[in-house]
Amino acid sequence: MENEKKKTAMPIIMLITSMCIFGTIGLLRKYILLSSSLVALSRAVIGALFLLAVMLIKRKKPDFLAIKNNIVPLIVSSLALGFNWVLLFEAYSYLSVASATLIYYLAPTLVIFVSVPLFKDKLTLKHVICAVVSLVGMVLVSGVLDSGISFNLTGILLALGAMLLYATVVILNRKSKDVPPFDRTFVQLVIASAVLLPYVLITDKTLFLYADGLSIGLLICAGIVHTGIAYLLYFASVGSLKSHTVAFFSYIDPTLAVILSFTVLNENFSVLSVIGAVLIIGSSIISELKREIKNTQELSNN
């Protein structure tokens, strides 16, 4: 029973850690004076180089057979991953971090319902209730009821596009879960880099011309910490967890992002926002805690 607890706890810890790292990416983006496509490309390239260095240090060889057998979902998910970043970073230029994050993180809830027909996951009343509570909390924490969302159609469409691509990445990663998480992350970053490079060269005429020292430093941080390390932890955890567990714990990311946008970027932070954060985190913990109690009882009875 103790070993079973450890097997469940470790993926959750990795998922929470990755969500906390991802939660600061919107804040970093606000201070990086480069185009969204160039930021996305840089993240992919630096992240891939970081993982390559780890492989060389550990003398780890990729599982080429598993990669070959899953090459189609890997290519599609890599495309979705790269352009997901482009759309999300561009959405931050049109919307506040809170508003863009609210729209973007409808993806985990979408994954829950899509996974029912695709992966035969069970959808219980508890999951539906927790999803509704999380969405209510997301509305409250975003500050929509306090000041209202500025309905910039371009920003909303960009955030919605990023949301759909994010859900696509999560679903396709479950399809290729026999590929080791490290290998999958590395391949996705390499393919995303290869695809984004010509796109950036065509669309971005200035590249690093106006970049300052802070932008370069934050860009390196985004590549190593927010990409290489964070995605490795994230993909290593989702393969061992149910889709609804991943979806609910994923709300840690937007909660932290919205809180940081209020405190650091001086967006309004109200009592309703505090209540919303409690609802989001609370529903995540309750959803997972009940499953853990059930699993513990079943192990005790065996």
Domain extents for the chain?
Answer: 2-301
Q: Is the Cβ–Cβ distance between 233 and 52 less than 8 Å?
A: no
Q: What angle do CA 106, 98, 139 make, to 5 degrees?
A: 55
| Amino acid type, 90 | E
Looking at residue 50, what is its pLDDT?
Answer: 92
Low-confidence ranges of the chain (pLDDT < 70): 1-8, 141-144, 146-151, 243-244, 247, 268-270, 273, 281, 284-285, 287-302
DSSP 15-71: HHHHHHHHTTHHHHHHH--S-HHHHHHHHHHHHHHHHHHHHHHHTPPP-HHHHHHTH
Looking at residue 77, what is its pLDDT?
Answer: 94
Looking at residue 201, what is its pLDDT?
Answer: 93
Looking at residue 284, what is its pLDDT?
Answer: 66
- What is the rounded distance in angstroms from the CA atom of residue 232 to the CA atom of residue 235? 6
Q: Is the Cβ–Cβ distance between 38 and 204 less than 8 Å?
A: yes
Number of residues that this document lists for the chain: 302
- What is the rounded distance in angstroms from the CA atom of residue 188 to the CA atom of residue 173? 10
Write the CB contacts of 160 (distance below 8 Å, at least 6 apart in sequence): 103
The pTM (predicted TM-score) of the whole model is 0.79
Looking at residue 245, what is its pLDDT?
Answer: 76
- What is the rounded distance in angstroms from the CA atom of residue 127 to the CA atom of residue 121? 11
**Residue 238 in tokens:** 């989702």
**Residue 283 in tokens:** 């529903």
Q: Is the Cβ–Cβ distance between 244 and 109 less than 8 Å?
A: no
Angstrom CA distances, 241 to 10, 14, 53, 213, stand at 11, 11, 28, 40
Looking at residue 180, what is its pLDDT?
Answer: 86
